[in-house]
Structure 1
């Protein structure tokens, strides 16, 4: 769903609030890329019962993308503790006027009223979840992205090629942000933008020794020389 957005995107600061029970951990890169196309995700939180062994993969991915893990213990006889913790934080952020936009990551219709309440304040609401997400939640967001369409790569593959394919959109985003209209961009500027998107990213995870090698592996970039510096200090899209 797409409609006229209430705020100019370059001005928007975002809170990404993830229901850890409703999305796979390997989607974090795509979520960051999605939200970054609308603004700056300054607040990043994942809500779950972190005592569960099933959440181990989440913890690993959260470090890469600098998400805070918010505990929502499943007490005996209580349901929807994750939902309640997320909604409470969302309302605190809303009333504190901390951000100008929210991304609610869930396929659960229980968040419909939250999305509607945020919209009533004139803030931008993004949604991210599976195609089975009820229309009530989808239609309460200015834009809703389907998680099961976003990444065709198999989720439990830990090879360098897997991570490159998974994070490709983020590398492209870092290049486009750093270039500011220029054809050639230094790798130091790109590295700075990547740190904002993925504060804990490690080059070796992608099977490379340098950032330049990584961008060459993406297939659409080439190394170039800038001034008196050696070839490899900057990149551009292949001519």
Structure 2
């Protein structure tokens, strides 16, 4: 589990992330630790990146200038990767936050994890599976915030609507992931504490997040499937157990 005093390096690919998203991203990052280093990479001579000036200043993010010296080559990605490796070798950080929807960072994420350091990825739903799976945890930008309508650089998105029971039960990937996680974490009585269930789900699927289905809490998502009994014990521990097939039928 992440510790609030973990030191994190936050590296942002400006070409792939709108400045309208950064407030929500940093709020999410704060759940995992302290953003000791915050850098955003881009060619600031490009008009479409002008919006980052105010955002970087407001959040004390260091802008790193990287000119595109050769057409067709992404110098920004290379600069971010080089800095990430330099920071990794300092041994100061317990986690790296890579904010991008670009698959070019797949190998970087894998290399950092080889060092035993946690990688948190942030990107849009279009992010390739290879990069998502290379992270310990991947969060979709669409579920943590909807950009303001006044931001012309990023169209406003609607909050994720809660999926109903029918939709949840027909989501094969979700149903299988829940079944495996609960059965693996369960004791002899068939009951499993919610915390290890959540950990197992994220190990199976780094992009697993109850908010992807419109639920703020994992317990609410599991309860909404109608397949499990979810109870809070007197000590506050949340326990999950599969319902008998006869009672798990949809109403």
TM-score range, shorter chain: 0.5 to 0.7
Please, which of 81, 87, 93 is the counterpart of residue 75 of structure 2?
Answer: 81
Q: For residues 134 and 38 of structure 1, what CA distance do their matches in structure 2 show?
A: 23
User: Which of 103, 107, 110 matches 1:109?
Assistant: 103
Residue in structure 1 matched with residue 125 of structure 2 by the alignment: 131
User: In the TM superposition, what are the counterparts of 1:12-51 in structure 2 within 5 Å?
Assistant: 12-51=6-45
In the other structure, the counterpart of 2:64 is 70
* Structure 1 residues 97 and 155: alpha-carbon distance in aligned structure 2, compared to 1, 3 A threshold: farther
Q: Which residue of 2 aligns with 1:185?
A: none
Gaps of 5+ in 2: 157-251
Q: Helix, strand or coil: the match of 2:150?
A: coil
Q: 1:145 Cα shift?
A: 0.9
Which 4+ stretches in 1 moved above 6 angstroms? none
Counterpart CA distance in 2 for 1:153 and 1:129 is 14
Which of 138, 142, 151 matches 1:148? 142
Computing the radius of gyration over CA atoms, which structure comes out larger, 1 or 2? 2
Per-residue CA shift, 1:170-216, capped at 9, x if unaligned?
xxxxxxxxxxxxxxxxxxxxxxxxxxxxxxxxxxxxxxxxxxxxxxx
**Structure with the largest fraction of helix:** 1
Give the TM-score normalised by the residue count of structure 2: 0.58
Please give the per-residue CA displacement for 1:50-108, whole angstroms capped at 9, x wherever unaligned: 11122111011111100000011011335110100000000000011131110001111
Counterpart secondary structure, 1:128 = strand
Whether 1:60 and 2:54 are equivalent positions in the alignment is yes
Please give the residue correspondences for 1:179-218 in structure 2 after superposition, counting only pairs within 5 Å: none
Change (3 A) 1:79 1:57: same
- Which residue among 77, 86, 97 is the counterpart of 2:91? 97
The verdict on how the C-alpha distance between 1:52 and 1:157 changes in structure 2, with shifts beyond 3 A counting, is: closer
Q: Structure with the greater relative contact order (CA < 8 A, sep ≥ 6): 1 or 2?
A: 1
Residues 19 and 51 in structure 2, CA contact (< 8 A), matched pair in contact too: yes
Equivalent pairs, count = 153
CA displacement at 1:157 relative to structure 2: 4.7
User: Cα RMSD (Å) of the superposition?
Assistant: 1.8
How far, CA to CA, are the matches of 1:147 and 1:13 in structure 2?
22
Matched, 1:120 2:96: no
8 Å CA contact retained: 1:26, 1:155: no
In 1, the alpha carbon distance for the partners of 2:5 and 2:144 equals: 25
SS for the counterpart of 1:26 is: helix
